[in-house]
Amino acid sequence: MVKKDYSVERMKELECLYALVQELADPTVTLPDALQRVVALLPAAWRYSEVAQARVVFDTLEFSHGPNPGTDCAWATAPITVQGKRRGEVWVGYPGDAIAKKTTPFLKEEQRLLTEAARQIALFVERLNSKQEQEALREQLSHAERLITVGQLAAGVAHELNEPLGSILGFAQLLHKTSRLSAAVRDDLDKIIAATLHARGIIQKLMFFARQSSPQMTAVALNPLIKDCVELLWWRCEDEGVEVIFTLDNELPSVWADEAQIRQVVINLVANAIQAMPGGGTLCIQTRCRNQQVEFSIADNGVGISPDVLPKIFDPFFTTKEVDQGTGLGLSVVHGIVAAHGGEINVTPNTPTGTRLCVRLPGRGAAGNNRSREFPHD
């Protein structure tokens, strides 16, 4: 009779485990539905199934099957651990009065089943996360490809605009040489010439930034480079109500670097800082030399970076922005460029709010040993 009872209990457990695996293998099931199905299946596998209660807690989700046994009950429990982190528990319990005379309400096999149920839930969550990450990655790659196309179009448009701007500049300068011009007309021509030179300068910088070529290591002066990069984004500063404050060391030594890649670093960091201040704010850019290193920092007083996000910000394709607002590539590329130049980048909170990113590069004298390094391409 004992053997018959034992075999019946084992059959109940095996049937429950098989059904549970089948349910969690459904690729269309959502996490809440999966957890609800688990708690519905578990009680039937227990020795006193007619009074058994099941409960699953995962993060902020909680599901139960049957009335809550209350505090005066016996529980068997198993943790749900996903990638080394405890995310919840699976419980099976009996009301206190239903097992008052039972000294061992739970069998060892039942505890093993509960542990396996928790493991299957963890595997389901990992598969679900992997699927979501793959979908997000596909969308980000698609967005990155669109950005590359837009960049190529922008470079082409910039090239095409050079010719008409050159004509405007040439004719304006010819007119300016005419002797019979009133002071007002000459003043207007000065404004046209200045505006055309400004527009052509911006286009040249844009084309330089968009160029694709092997790294060219030269002595780079950071102060004028940073000002040029900020000028490219000046319209965004004005639109967002961002004030830019420069604190630049006039004695700053040059760095041995690829100018286009350092421009990319500065533009990415400045653009991120502006985006972090949607209601306006102050962008502080500082350069200085410390311990044979050339240092520049970009600090904003925006929304800041939460502690749980901070360790991931340099990971490829990690982003907290909306799908159409970023690819998660900017800071990972920045990190790669800085590391390839023999430098480092640190992120710290700004005071009282916002974020401060500090890039340190070897000064020109200290960077000579880095000329043979492999540099990432844009």
pLDDT, tens digit (0-9, with 9 covering 90-100), for 184-196: 888 888 889 888 8
Show the domains of the chain with their CATH numbers: 2-137 (3.30.450.40), 216-378 (3.30.565.10)
pLDDT of residue 326: 45
pLDDT of residue 2: 41
Give me the chain's average pLDDT, please.
80
Q: Is the pLDDT of residue 250 over 60?
A: yes
Three-state DSSP class for residue 218: strand
Query: How is residue 281 written in tokens?
Result: 């704010």
User: How sure is the predictor about 50, in pLDDT bands with cuts at 50, 70 and 90?
Assistant: confident
CB atoms within 10 A of CB 247: 10
What residue type is assigned to position 344 of the chain? E
Three-state DSSP class for residue 278: coil
Q: Is the pLDDT of residue 218 over 70?
A: yes
Q: Is the pLDDT of residue 328 over 50?
A: no
Cα first-last separation, the chain: 75
Contacts of 21 (CB under 8 A, 6+ apart): 120
Query: What would the mean pLDDT of 199-208 be, rounded to a whole number?
Result: 71
Three-state DSSP class for residue 300: strand
Query: How is residue 172 written in tokens?
Result: 């304006």
The pTM assigned to this predicted structure is 0.51
Q: Is the pLDDT of residue 371 over 60?
A: no
pLDDT of residue 232: 83
pLDDT of residue 369: 42
Q: Is the pLDDT of residue 367 over 70?
A: no
pLDDT of residue 157: 78
pLDDT, one tens digit per residue, over 135-184 is 877 777 776 677 677 667 777 777 788 788 888 888 888 888 888 888 88
For residue 288, report the phi and psi dihedrals to the nearest 5 degrees: -165, 170
- Residue 158 sits at the vertex; the CA angle it makes with 152 and 163, to the nearest 5 degrees, is 140
More confident residue, 353 or 314: 353
Query: What would the mean pLDDT of 269-295 be, rounded to a whole number?
Result: 90
Instruction: Give bridge partners of residue 57 from the DSSP assignment.
Output: 62, 89
Q: Do β-strands 281-290 and 242-247 pair in parallel, antiparallel, or remain unpaired?
A: parallel
pLDDT of residue 309: 74
Judge residue 230's burial from the number of C-beta atoms within 10 Å of its C-beta, 0-12 exposed, 13-18 middle, 19 or more buried: buried
pLDDT, one tens digit per residue, over 73-127 is 778 889 999 988 999 999 888 876 656 555 567 888 888 889 999 999 999 999 9
Judge residue 307's burial from the number of C-beta atoms within 10 Å of its C-beta, 0-12 exposed, 13-18 middle, 19 or more buried: exposed
Say which range, 7-11, 192-196, 206-210, 236-240, has the weakest mean pLDDT.
Answer: 206-210
On the question of a cis peptide bond just before residue 79, with omega within 30 degrees of 0, the verdict is no
